[in-house]
Amino acid sequence: MRVSSKGHYGLLALAELAENYKVRRAVQVKEIANNQQIPLQYLGQIMLLLKRGNLVHAARGPSGG
């Protein structure tokens, strides 16, 4: 089975969010992009899809995630 790059990156982002969920810490998209070596603009598009699918919650602001 083949997984698209968007699907692969989405799973990497969700895995990182799950790791940080244990300590109840918001994670910024740019932090995930840096840690997982995913292009920031592309990850932004993926996170928007995950948000629309109610898989993630977004918070705006300096300490948002």
What's the confidence (pLDDT) of residue 41?
A: 96
Confidence of residue 65 (pLDDT cuts 50, 70, 90): low
Q: How many domains does the chain have?
A: 1
Confidence of residue 64 (pLDDT cuts 50, 70, 90): low
Q: What is the pTM of this model?
A: 0.84
Instruction: Quick: pLDDT tens for 2-49.
Output: 999 999 999 999 999 999 888 888 889 999 999 999 999 999 999 999
Query: Is 58 inside any structural domain?
Result: no
Query: Is 60 inside any structural domain?
Result: no
Q: Which structural domain range is residue 17 located in?
A: 5-52
CB neighbours of residue 23 within 10 Å: 6
5/3 Cα distance (integer angstroms): 7
Query: Is 61 inside any structural domain?
Result: no
